[in-house]
Amino acid sequence: MSVRSGARYSMPGMMETVLNVGLNDESVAGLAMQAGGDERFAWDSYRRLIQMFGKTVCEVPGEEFEHALDDAKRARGTVNDLDLDAADLRALVDAYKKIFAKHAGREFPQDAREQMDLAIRAVFDSWHAERAVLYRRQERIPADLGTAVSVVAMVFGNLGPDSGTGVAFTRDPASGTQGIYGDYLANAQGEDVVAGIRNTIPLQELERLDKRSYDQLLGIMSTLENHYRDLCDIEFTIERGKLWMLQTRVGKRTAAAAFIIAGQLVDEGLIDLDEAILRVNGAQLGQLMFPRFDLSDEPKPLAKGVGASPGAAVGKAVFDAASAIEMAKSGEAVILVRRETNPDDLAGMIAAQGILTSRGGKTSHAAVVARGMGKTCVSGADALEVDTRKKKFTVDGTTIVEGDVISIDGTTGRVYVGEVPVQPSEVVRYFEGDLDADQEGVDPLVSAVHRIMAHADATRRLRVRTNADTGQDAARARRFGAEGIGLCRTEHMFLGERRELVERLILARTEGERQEALDALLPLQRADFVEIFEAMDGLPVTVRLIDPPLHEFLPSLEELAVSVAVAHERGENAGKAEALLAAVRRMHEQNPMLGLRGVRLGLVIPGLFAMQVRAIAEAAAECAARGGSPHPEIMVPLVGAVQELETVRAEAERIIADTGAGEVSIGTMIEVPRAALTSGQIAEAAEFFSFGTNDLTQMAWGFSRDDVEGAFFWRYIELGIFGISPFESIDRDGVGRLVRIAVDEGRVARPDLKVGVCGEHGGDPESVHFFHEVGLDYVSCSPFRVPIARLEAGRASVETAVASDSR
């Protein structure tokens, strides 16, 4: 008999293992008789049952059973379970029962009915397991929903040579080619196949062993494929010549295979292109865009962990944050290796190329923080014995010390010794235009991506723009399919050599001094915009007026205070530093994120926004005069009240008219909750809205990304407070509600309002679907994410069509 939890409500932490019951000291003899007198089989089954039951129903530590099994094999001088005979296994059953009694505080139950009741109870109890509770909390699944338990008869694949068990794919999981793919192991149960101890045979050979079952299996596989119209993965058992299907599901596949298979299925007429784009997703496309390790030399992985944050990173192993920072400073690429990370490791993680941990999964601190930083990470490589004090780790006798080069693959979770060569992504080369997808002999992956992207572009309603601050980025994003710039930040234009001008602007004591600094900045800004308008000629370019507080362009208060104090101590003159310190102290803010920035700065520092608007308008006029077609849009940041926008707009309109630039639309970021809440008013003064979902998330939740991602997000994810950082994927209930309000009420006030998003959520697959649903006109994201957004926008359109068809 086998007991399993109801699949419908299965969730992490719920009992998902199939649990066998029904054997006891007496019935084991009956099983042996059933098995044609095979006592070995009967005792082995009984042993397995005690182990599984003990572990999952009575929380007996599994490794104790393993140790006992190892001892038995060692006594017999073998490593293969099959070398243990019936007497060995019978002795093992006795040992197992002792282990059971020791930990469960009771004898192993002999009543089959009691075993079943306990197993059923354990499944029901798993509804209250901590992980299940956290998962429900996080997903807002009602706690009184309850779960179900299925009780089914068992079949045995280990009843002799006419029995066996196997796994199969309905087509090649790597290429999608139709055929027979799978493995079979005669006289074995499922665990034996998974354990990999005994060598399986290719599935094709089953035809020779048991033609009837083989033919029947092929028939079922074809039925399943026609039903799912997709690659299926199958588990089956043959019990004395009778085929039983245990389980099937749509088969997992690599990102590359997903694209190739989708194309294959279209070619075979099993699915259409609409369905094909639903078979792949942006996360997979993203994986294909990272550089990969060139594995043509077939390097042997040292260990395998969880692919927690994709990418291919190579560097010298370091074992603490301080060393990571120090070595990174001297230009070395490093991989930070820790048992697990915590907030103290943050600076080290920033300094490293990649992070490798021996503990924790996809939601560990290391994984969450690395994904937030876009940094390669392999977590939970549990074969590693990490000794941070001795600055080394050991795996299977291989020792890596500080300074040894390792390579980690954040997609597959594999860890290699030495430098594995990295090769650029073929898919990126295709997007860059270096590969022609229609050419003979092109990588089938490129050809599949090409077809699917073309269909996504034909299908999607959302436009896709890019966030780019330079002509170079803009040109690259345009090759990646960007249809304009959704966010051109002007902050970097105040850095580098221009920092000195900004310092003069900030320290100006008179209107004249300030205006002088602004006048010097004007031609530099104008040249920046000319470059960008040219790269995006014919397409809209949204320029955001300066957003961060001015003191961000000055040195840090702490450093200045220390250098002044030290100079005083030495009796040295610290005149200039002192003046700067006074300015920094005057401008110091407790919470710069909530201080004098964005439109506030523009309204308080006379001439600053005016200079930027003039630079934009003059740049547009210059491009147009040369025969170009610039489409500038001026975006005012951090507006919370329509009055702010009206004030800036009045001045900007005068300047634009003055420069003789053509049409320049003026709009605003919606990044302050109040802007969304009063969007009907704000739309009266805005020709477009662009959601700054990063700030909007910060303010709606009341936490700043810088301060929280390392400090407590990992803990929140651990506690099930949320499943994914709201900075990664948009929080539909809270931030999303603000977005809906603003779109709806903004359009009531101004029906032709253009609405987009320019936060990094614009390139997040889940979020793109949300933005499609609420009816945005476009999303904007970093150049690298433009193809991902295009694909997801297409998928969202198809999903909407499917959903409305099924209504």
Give the residue numbers annotated as catalytic, written as ranges. Answer: 365, 758
* Of 18, 154, 218, 677, the one binding a second copy by CB under 8 A: 677
Contact 619, 526 (CB under 8 A): yes
Residue 486 is labelled as binding a ligand: no
13 binds a second copy (CB under 8 A): no
Query: Sign (positive/negative) of CA torsion 3, 4, 9, 12?
Result: positive
- Hey, is 294 helix, strand or coil? coil
Q: Residue 184: which residues within 8 A CB-CB, separation 6 or more?
A: 164, 165, 166, 200, 201, 202, 203, 205, 206, 209
141 binds a second copy (CB under 8 A): no
Here the tokens at position 17 are: 């293992």
> Which CB atom, from 343 or from 361, has the smaller least distance to a second copy?
343
Residue 640: φ, ψ to 5° = -120, -15
749 binds a second copy (CB under 8 A): no
H or E element at residue 315: strand 312-318
> Which CB atom, from 487 or from 645, has the smaller least distance to a second copy?
645
Closest C-alpha among 410, 428, 427 to residue 314: 410
733 binds a second copy (CB under 8 A): yes
H-assigned helices in 151-278:
190-195, 206-209, 211-228, 255-267, 273-278
Contact 573, 516 (CB under 8 A): no
* Of 29, 33, 194, 711, the one binding a second copy by CB under 8 A: 711
592 binds a second copy (CB under 8 A): yes
- Contact map string, positions 549 to 568, toward a second copy, x by CB under 8 A: --------xx--xx--xx--
Tokens 């003055």: give the residue. Answer: 658
H or E element at residue 467: strand 463-467
Query: Minimum CB separation from a second copy for residue 545, in Å?
Result: 16
> Which CB atom, from 53 or from 716, has the smaller least distance to a second copy?
716
Residue 544 is labelled as binding a ligand: yes
140 binds a second copy (CB under 8 A): yes
Residue 692 is labelled as binding a ligand: yes
174 binds a second copy (CB under 8 A): no
> Which CB atom, from 497 or from 569, has the smaller least distance to a second copy?
569
719: which DSSP letter? T
- Regarding beta strands 306-309 and 303-304, do their DSSP bridges make them parallel or antiparallel, or are they unpaired? unpaired
- Residue ranges in 754-773 that form contacts with a second copy under rule CB under 8 A: none
* Of 194, 657, 721, 803, the one binding a second copy by CB under 8 A: 721
Residue 489 is labelled as binding a ligand: yes
Query: Minimum CB separation from a second copy for residue 742, in Å?
Result: 12
737 binds a second copy (CB under 8 A): yes
715 binds a second copy (CB under 8 A): yes
- Letter for the amino acid at 514? R
Here the tokens at position 602 are: 């523009």
Supply the DSSP string of 16-56, one letter for each residue: -S-EE----TTHHHHHHHHTTS-HHHHHHHHHHHHHHHHHH
108: which DSSP letter? P
Residue 463: φ, ψ to 5° = -80, 155
Closest C-alpha among 9, 217, 15, 1 to residue 111: 1
Residue 589 is labelled as binding a ligand: no
Contact 452, 259 (CB under 8 A): yes
671 binds a second copy (CB under 8 A): yes
729 binds a second copy (CB under 8 A): no
708 binds a second copy (CB under 8 A): yes
* Of 202, 706, 775, 803, the one binding a second copy by CB under 8 A: 706
How many residues bind a second copy (CB under 8 A)? The answer is: 65
> Which CB atom, from 465 or from 649, has the smaller least distance to a second copy?
649
H-assigned helices in 105-247:
112-125, 130-139, 190-195, 206-209, 211-228
Stretch that binds a second copy, among 66-74, 156-164, 201-209, 673-681 (CB under 8 A): 673-681
Stretch that binds a second copy, among 319-327, 459-467, 675-683, 793-801 (CB under 8 A): 675-683
Rg of the chain (C-alpha set): 32
* Of 719, 748, 801, 803, the one binding a second copy by CB under 8 A: 719
Residue 805: φ, ψ to 5° = -65, -40
Cα of 320 vs its chain's centroid, Å: 25
> Which CB atom, from 175 or from 647, has the smaller least distance to a second copy?
647
Query: Minimum CB separation from a second copy for residue 539, in Å?
Result: 30
Query: Minimum CB separation from a second copy for residue 699, in Å?
Result: 5
Closest C-alpha among 298, 341, 292, 295 to residue 320: 341
70 binds a second copy (CB under 8 A): no
Stretch that binds a second copy, among 49-57, 370-378, 458-466, 677-685 (CB under 8 A): 677-685
The Cα 604–Cα 31 span in angstroms is 87
343 binds a second copy (CB under 8 A): yes
700 binds a second copy (CB under 8 A): yes
> Which CB atom, from 110 or from 556, has the smaller least distance to a second copy?
556
Q: How many C-beta atoms surround the C-beta of residue 607 within 10 A?
A: 17
* Of 73, 103, 137, 489, the one binding a second copy by CB under 8 A: 137
Residue 630: φ, ψ to 5° = -80, 145
H-assigned helices in 38-126:
39-58, 62-76, 86-104, 112-125
Here the tokens at position 742 are: 């603003």
* Of 524, 600, 724, 800, the one binding a second copy by CB under 8 A: 600
- Contact map string, positions 287 to 326, toward a second copy, x by CB under 8 A: ----------------------------------------
- Letter for the amino acid at 522? L
Q: How many C-beta atoms surround the C-beta of residue 503 within 10 A?
A: 17
Residue 357 is labelled as binding a ligand: no
Here the tokens at position 787 are: 């193809």
* Of 237, 681, 767, 797, the one binding a second copy by CB under 8 A: 681
169 binds a second copy (CB under 8 A): no
The Cα 59–Cα 722 span in angstroms is 28
> Which CB atom, from 299 or from 595, has the smaller least distance to a second copy?
595
- Letter for the amino acid at 418? G
Helices 765-773, 786-805: crossing angle, 10 deg rounding? 50
- Contact map string, positions 505 to 544, toward a second copy, x by CB under 8 A: ----------------------------------------
> Which CB atom, from 204 or from 573, has the smaller least distance to a second copy?
573
Residue 459 is labelled as binding a ligand: no
> Which CB atom, from 98 or from 737, has the smaller least distance to a second copy?
737
> Which CB atom, from 540 or from 640, has the smaller least distance to a second copy?
640
> Which CB atom, from 474 or from 545, has the smaller least distance to a second copy?
545
Query: Minimum CB separation from a second copy for residue 725, in Å?
Result: 13
- Contact map string, positions 631 to 670, toward a second copy, x by CB under 8 A: -------x-xxxxx-xx-----------------------
Query: Sign (positive/negative) of CA torsion 333, 352, 371, 376?
Result: positive
Tokens 């991989």: give the residue. Answer: 335
* Of 348, 720, 756, 787, the one binding a second copy by CB under 8 A: 720
Query: Minimum CB separation from a second copy for residue 578, in Å?
Result: 13
Which chain residues interact with a second copy by CB under 8 A? 137-138, 140, 343-344, 557-558, 561-562, 565-566, 569-570, 586, 589-596, 600, 603-604, 638, 640-644, 646-647, 671-674, 677-678, 681, 695, 698-704, 706-708, 711-712, 715-716, 719-722, 731, 733-735, 737-738
Annotated binding site for Mg(2+): 671, 695
Q: Give the residue ranges of the annotated binding site for substrate.
A: 489, 544, 671, 692-695
